[in-house]
Structure 1
């Protein structure tokens, strides 16, 4: 697991795909018994450049990848093609300037929003809050008011606007597919008061009718479960070489799980949560019942 690479390194940033590519090249270098100095020599570059490449700080050129693979004895054409395709995807995504890049309020979320925008499918486990892509403006606003920045009304409205833009992915011609498992606690939190939460629950039921949205509720009665350690999001992409990545928010950092083995473990946890949760149909009925309770 790695902390998000949004820290600047000159005018560069470390991206999820860049770190994955760099990590794979580092693995191949170590397996071949080569040093970073030797890698720098074959590239006619400095050792610092190799460090930056392996850390995902800079986009990689195809000739550099080919030269390094020759040095490391990579004879598998399919493996080389996968690295080149990953590098191409990373370069393209670094060039994308989405609306989120021009919104200072979203500065700490830029990498996640960019990855969410590129994803074709999301699986999300949420324990305390309604997932952001499902939140009503009132609900998002109430969360902002309750936060440490609660007195900055402009900041809160920027967050509300940004979240609404992200939610448009659910209604695209080729909509984002999202499967969310939500713990009962998130539905019973009186965020914004009974009226706000009742309307939020009604919105969840409405969204659940869309073919690209699947919502399941994990009720309290299930007790201890595989996801008790905390919420996470698994993002899946359209490219064959793009392994799922997992995103988690910690109090002072953002954590990404970027390799196939670890991301598969989170997918397994999610599948377990799906099995022990209410069915989508029963979840909708459950949410309707909770909405009635909070109105009374």
Structure 2
């Protein structure tokens, strides 16, 4: 097993980094890079030289796309900048943790990864007594393991496999199995509520290099995903739409049709739509989408999916589920209630 396979110790360390970022505001990747380049604010305890936290590097580390444990110098710089940004925002930095605590976590994660690498290859005897090594089979359990195993037979494979990222496939399986989907859409309307025209326009903004044919097929895929809300015993959807998503630079006619669709969806049984106004402070993840999926099987824990343009991170341990449940709860409290949200949306049609 390699670090790139997201060993539990590595996944947990990445989750801790994401929790620390949330505790600090959370700042955007661009804010982290800007502040790291001019970081000179006092920090309690010994502080190492801060290296630039480049957007691409930070994104890849926090979404689990980068192989291996991040270097300590990067972690120390990240934690230091989070403390500075938290102080600037008037946020209590104690939830972020000290450099000493992070040093211990980093060393523990490194030791666990070393142990996992050694244990992943076990000696066995082949016929005739010759020794060789084979990969130890990982025995995952729960909804996430089920989703990973069912990817090969996923409904999207026949017609849309070429436009689905490998990181997206477990999410598509989980959506099909869930009986409750909670989502904060970030700077876009949540995927399960998008119209085809809106999906096309959003894709043009987010992935300008995507060929026209792939763009159209991605939009078709989005429409197929909506089927989970129309089947018998369909999943319940609780969606929080950030006001920023409604003010995106998208053609007015397309946005108008999208808003009408949101209003109609919000009136359907099993679908709750709330609008999070700009004045609210509880945005789930500074523009990054957050999805929490719950399943009818009592033995399956919830799964959290943190989605990015070029990757995603799946979390299924109790601490992460509790953290992001609270994040979504806080956003729901600060968002307008469903009737008020419909009234807010209708104002966009005037």
Match of 2:150 among 94, 102, 111: 94
1:290 is displaced (CA, Å) by 1.8
1:187 corresponds to 2:239: no
Q: Looking at both structures, which has the greater relative contact order when contacts are Cα pairs under 8 Å and sequence separation is at least 6?
A: 1
Query: Which stretch of the first structure deviates more once superposed, 279-288 or 242-251?
Result: 242-251
Matches within 5 A, 1:31-46: 40=122
Match of 2:263 among 184, 187, 205: 205
Query: Which stretch of the first structure deviates more once superposed, 234-243 or 166-175?
Result: 234-243
- Residue pair 2:185, 2:191 contacting (<8 A) in 1 also: no
1:126 is displaced (CA, Å) by 1.9
Gaps spanning 5+ residues in structure 2: where? 1-10, 15-62, 68-111
1:274 is displaced (CA, Å) by 1.0
- Residue pair 1:37, 1:47 contacting (<8 A) in 2 also: no
Task: Note the alpha carbon deviations across 1:127-147, whole angstroms, 9 max, x for none.
Answer: 210011111111011123334
CA spacing shift, 1:271–1:194, aligned 2, 3 Å: same
Aligned to 2:233: 174
Report the RMSD for the aligned CA atoms in angstroms. Answer: 3.4
Matches within 5 A, 1:1-296: 1=11, 40=122, 48-50=134-136, 52-53=137-138, 60=139, 86=142, 90=146, 93-94=149-150, 97-102=153-158, 103=160, 104-108=162-166, 109-149=168-208, 152-191=211-250, 193-222=251-280, 224-225=281-282, 227-229=284-286, 230-292=288-350
Separation in 2, partners of 1:43, 1:241: 37
Task: Note the alpha carbon deviations across 1:98-138, whole angstroms, 9 max, x for none.
Answer: 22123211133222212212221111112210011111111
CA spacing shift, 1:153–1:273, aligned 2, 3 Å: same
Gaps spanning 5+ residues in structure 1: where? 8-29, 54-59, 61-82
- Report the TM-score when normalising by structure 1: 0.68
- Residue pair 2:305, 2:315 contacting (<8 A) in 1 also: yes
CA spacing shift, 1:97–1:127, aligned 2, 3 Å: same
- Residue pair 2:289, 2:308 contacting (<8 A) in 1 also: no
Q: Tell me, what secondary structure is at the counterpart of 2:284?
A: coil
Task: Note the alpha carbon deviations across 1:179-200, whole angstroms, 9 max, x for none.
Answer: 0111111112132x11110110
- Report the TM-score when normalising by structure 2: 0.59
Separation in 1, partners of 2:144, 2:336: 41
Task: Note the alpha carbon deviations across 1:30-86, whole angstroms, 9 max, x for none.
Answer: 9xx999659957999987533x51xxxxxx4xxxxxxxxxxxxxxxxxxxxxx8x74
Greater per-residue helix proportion: 1
Query: Which stretch of the first structure deviates more once superposed, 138-147 or 37-46?
Result: 37-46
Separation in 2, partners of 1:194, 1:144: 16
Q: Tell me, what secondary structure is at the counterpart of 1:130?
A: coil
- Residue pair 2:194, 2:258 contacting (<8 A) in 1 also: yes
Q: Tell me, what secondary structure is at the counterpart of 2:153?
A: coil
1:215 is displaced (CA, Å) by 0.4
